[in-house]
Chain A
């Protein structure tokens, strides 16, 4: 069975601090996808990144970076120099790979509060 664990329920930081959100996943599939979504107070899930199980390269996009490590089944997300607008709930998700339903299995989310 597939499972995603986000152990950090809530994180509070002061603006400009760096923050890392942890994600640990379980799957028996050799091909899978990992995702991060952001959910601001409005409720809409905003896509941030998708990573294929065969691609372990870390990725950086502006202030955001992602560290994918298959050896520890982790897909952590770091925000550098956090801003108040980063305050939201962040979800890590997992789906099976090619020729599957691609349904997403979500973690329980990490609520990030960035204080001015």
Chain B
């Protein structure tokens, strides 16, 4: 399977804990995007990378959130000191600039 993969698919954590999600893009795609989707809403942009450079961050990305793509391949999204409001689906997508974004299966986060 050469699509976008995300791990884990589901995560339940207690408020205040840190969580980390991983995204593996399609191999030839140099752009990688993170989105967040809450119940009943469309996905909202969080941040994106071109190779290893993080080029844009949304105001939704508070200082408790950090994303990395150290070698320009996989990316991680970390949430520190989770809050109940962080409960959402976190989606990763990748693309070649000018083409189409393809999405992974998402990570569903539930903060208790």
User: Using a CB–CB distance below 8 Å, which chain A residues touch chain B?
Assistant: 4, 35, 37, 42-47, 50, 91, 93, 98, 101-109
Contacts and interface: CB of A to CB of B under 8 A. Distances in A.
B106 interface: yes
Contacts of B41: 108-109
Q: Chain B contact residues: over half helix, strand or loop, or mixed?
A: strand
B105 A43 contact: yes
Contacts of B98: 98, 102
B48 A43 contact: no
Contacts of B56: 101, 103
Contacts of A46: 103
Given A101-B55, A103-B56, A45 B33 contact: no
Nearest to A47: B100
29 contacts: A35-B100, A42-B105, A43-B89, A43-B105, A43-B106, A43-B108, A44-B103, A45-B91, A45-B103, A46-B103, A47-B100, A47-B101, A47-B102, A47-B103, A50-B100, A91-B42, A93-B42, A101-B48, A101-B55, A102-B95, A102-B98, A102-B101, A103-B45, A103-B56, A104-B43, A104-B93, A104-B101, A108-B40, A109-B40
Interface of B: 31, 33, 35, 40-45, 48, 55-56, 89, 91, 93, 95, 97-98, 100-106, 108
A71 B105 CA distance: 36
A88 B98 CA distance: 27
Contacts of B104: 44
A98 B55 CA distance: 16
